[in-house]
Structure 1
Amino acid sequence: MGVADEPIAIVGAGAVGGLIAAELHAAGNRVTMCVRRPFDRLVVDREDAPREFAVAPPGLAVATSPGDVRPVRWVVVALKAQDAAAAAPWLARLVGDGTTVVAVQNGIEQRERLEPHASGAPVVPALADTAVERIGPGRLVHRGGELVTVADAPGMAGFARLFHGGALRVVLEPDFTTASWRKLLANIAANPLTTLTGRRMEVFTDPGIRALALGLVREAAAAGRAEGARLADDEAERVLARCDGYPPDAGSSMLHDRLAGRPLEHDALTGAVLRAATRHDLPAPLNQAVLALLAALDGAP
């Protein structure tokens, strides 16, 4: 079971944040979800073991205003990268003595994005390897993936223990640079190509899309190695193998955002690759072209 005397706040209870909230609550923790619109049930639909939890404080609570919360030991920020600034009013109220902020976001710049808004609390980056879709307030579809990778930092073993008894597996990673680049490589293949084509993971059965994905990942892997990530020579082929392992009807988070009319996360993914490539004078023409297309799509009326 979790550590029930250490209250936890989840800022951004969308797909990933909602799943984390559900599993922390299932493990016996007191969880407050900080959201824009209230809901009275948290439902996680999955084929093997669907879960449904009533919102009933103090075990599971919903807050819609920063004025409704107080400092807690742990804050999980699961907002999309482009929405990081929206965490500031919540963190101003949630951070107190001894608070740690765990940033569960895509990309390689989690700490840099959130530290300006964290009210002085330490920010520990984390990655979620899950196929989960938010289909409505408090309603999720979890198609697979139960891994959360957290940078190994002082005190984080206590955070991992909070999940004992839930379905998510939390791993403390001493080489978070490599782990974050590996996740980024998968993201810069799956997210842009599903979004630009409007198709789900089955799109990777198309030979032309596979070739483009390999090119994107090879450019990014070169930038990652220059940044200190320990990436294999065949990292691109491994990424495609991982993509093949997802259910064909699974979508990417960026595709879900496009279909819902929400802003896209392209700058935190493909943009981060280009910034790293520029730092090391490495060419990345495929990623540059994809970023231009995503930016145009994001800005379309």
Structure 2
Amino acid sequence: MKIVIAGAGSIGCYCGALLADAGHDVTLLGRARVLDSVRAQGLTVTDFSGLHRHFSADALTLAEDPACLSQAELVIVTVKSGATRDMADAIAQFAPPSIPVLSWQNGMENARILRAALSDHDVRAGMVPFNVVPSEPAAFHRATSGEVVIQGGPGALGQRLSSSDLPVVESDDMDAVQWGKLVINLNNALNALSGLTLKDQLLNRDWRRLMADQMDEALTVLKAAGHSVASTTPLPAWMTPHILRLPTPLFTRIAARMLTIDPSARTSMAYDLMAGRPTEIDSLQGEIIRLGAQSGVPTPICARVRALVEKAPKTALSPAKIRLRRPTEKPSKSRKSPLT
């Protein structure tokens, strides 16, 4: 297939490279600051399990002009949430009518925005469960596991896109899958505020308790709003907060698969906060806050976390700085590292 990756960031470059490796004709549409490095030295993708692929610059088509969308048979949107409306306008202007458009983005509103702007296209939501981070210019590292999920529909797109290095499956309950991913992604902000790697954060019981409380808050909101939640981890969604609160030795035995992540991995929001870039906090905690207001359910943790991220603190915070400790909780030793 002729595929345009609309947003050559970490997810876009990683997935685009592996789609090209599987035989697709891939164009990366992005900014010069990313594409110039690829032009100069090619594109390298790696993962936590040992995958290593290098692609010369001529193995991919690199474009900064959205007119490249005119050649697409499929568009995969991977821009940050704040750029979705502009990308939707570009797709409407340049892409052939009726071709599928997949949203491989965080949050719930991106597919809605694309559908509203592209009524003559087959727009489908998608969910990318894994974390991809830049390891150096033109090199991107996948630090966590999972398979891409896309909304079911005609054309067997999941089967056509799937490969051994990039499994893609279809789901008939995509809303539940996306809500499940959003609940997990609420930790993006906590990880950014902690200054820790994901693995260090998960091995710290105080942080896990805060993660669990935030998840409980979100799950209560979603239940009140009548939304189903499909788990994107090996654990059922309702069980995850209970597992997170366990003592660390027991947690590490029960949740071993949650710890199959690169030791250096952090969330994308951590990198955005360190670089002073806009974050997706409004698409994550903001979504729960808005839904909570509509359903009459308070969301104090999400509100506090959003406020802190918007202030962009220059030093790492502890769980106690993010919310008051409950009287029944005893603090454990926590490690702090600077955000910069």
- Relative to structure 1, the CA distance from residue 135 to residue 27 in structure 2 (aligned partners, 3 Å threshold; closer, same or farther) is same
Q: Please name the residue that 1:193 is paired with.
A: 190
The reply on whether 1:257 has 2:255 as its aligned counterpart is no
Verify the 8 A CA contact 2:144 2:260 in the aligned structure 1: no
Write the deviation string for residues 202-232 of structure 1: whole angstroms up to 9, x where unpaired. Answer: 1232222111111100010112223321465
> What pairs up with 1:42-57 in 2 under 5 angstroms?
42-46=43-47, 48-56=50-58
User: 5+ unaligned residues in a row in structure 2: which ranges?
Assistant: 231-236, 246-254, 314-340
Task: Tell me the secondary structure at the aligned position of residue 288 of structure 1.
Answer: helix
- The code of the aligned residue for 2:4 comes to A
Write the deviation string for residues 109-162 of structure 1: whole angstroms up to 9, x where unpaired. Answer: 22223234447423211110112112455321122324101112333x2x2133
- Measured after TM superposition, the shift of residue 8 of structure 1 is 0.6
Write the deviation string for residues 32-84 of structure 1: whole angstroms up to 9, x where unpaired. Answer: 1101113221210335221011122xx52011112344242210000111221
Task: Tell me the secondary structure at the aligned position of residue 130 of structure 1.
Answer: coil
- Relative to structure 1, the CA distance from residue 162 to residue 102 in structure 2 (aligned partners, 3 Å threshold; closer, same or farther) is same
Q: Please name the residue that 1:272 is paired with.
A: 287
- Measured after TM superposition, the shift of residue 94 of structure 1 is 4.2
Q: Please name the residue that 1:16 is paired with.
A: 11
- Relative to structure 1, the CA distance from residue 291 to residue 20 in structure 2 (aligned partners, 3 Å threshold; closer, same or farther) is same
Q: Please name the residue that 1:206 is paired with.
A: 204
Quick one: distance in 1 between partners of 2:243 and 2:262? 17
- The code of the aligned residue for 1:229 comes to S
Task: Tell me the secondary structure at the aligned position of residue 149 of structure 1.
Answer: strand
Q: Please name the residue that 2:166 is paired with.
A: 168
Verify the 8 A CA contact 1:101 1:124 in the aligned structure 2: yes
Quick one: distance in 2 between partners of 1:111 and 1:162? 21
Quick one: distance in 2 between partners of 1:230 and 1:138? 36
- For the aligned residues, what is the CA RMSD? 2.4
Quick one: distance in 1 between partners of 2:73 and 2:4? 9
Verify the 8 A CA contact 1:186 1:239 in the aligned structure 2: no
Q: Please name the residue that 1:289 is paired with.
A: 304
Quick one: distance in 2 between partners of 1:10 and 1:198? 31
- Measured after TM superposition, the shift of residue 163 of structure 1 is 2.7
- The TM-score normalised by the length of structure 1 is 0.87
Larger Rg: 2
- The code of the aligned residue for 1:193 comes to L
The reply on whether 1:7 has 2:2 as its aligned counterpart is yes
- The code of the aligned residue for 2:53 comes to R
> What pairs up with 1:108-119 in 2 under 5 angstroms?
108-118=108-118
Verify the 8 A CA contact 1:150 1:170 in the aligned structure 2: yes
Verify the 8 A CA contact 1:92 1:119 in the aligned structure 2: no
- Relative to structure 1, the CA distance from residue 130 to residue 227 in structure 2 (aligned partners, 3 Å threshold; closer, same or farther) is same
User: 5+ unaligned residues in a row in structure 1: which ranges?
Assistant: 1-5
Task: Tell me the secondary structure at the aligned position of residue 292 of structure 1.
Answer: helix
- The code of the aligned residue for 1:257 comes to D
Quick one: distance in 2 between partners of 1:224 and 1:239? 20
Could you tell which deviates more after superposition, 81-90 or 262-271?
81-90
Quick one: distance in 2 between partners of 1:268 and 1:278? 15
- The TM-score normalised by the length of structure 2 is 0.78
Q: Percent identity?
A: 27
Q: Please name the residue that 1:227 is paired with.
A: 226
Greater percentage in strand: 1
Quick one: distance in 2 between partners of 1:227 and 1:295? 29
- Relative to structure 1, the CA distance from residue 245 to residue 141 in structure 2 (aligned partners, 3 Å threshold; closer, same or farther) is closer
Verify the 8 A CA contact 1:100 1:121 in the aligned structure 2: yes
- Measured after TM superposition, the shift of residue 256 of structure 1 is 1.6
Quick one: distance in 1 between partners of 2:151 and 2:84? 19
Verify the 8 A CA contact 1:102 1:124 in the aligned structure 2: yes
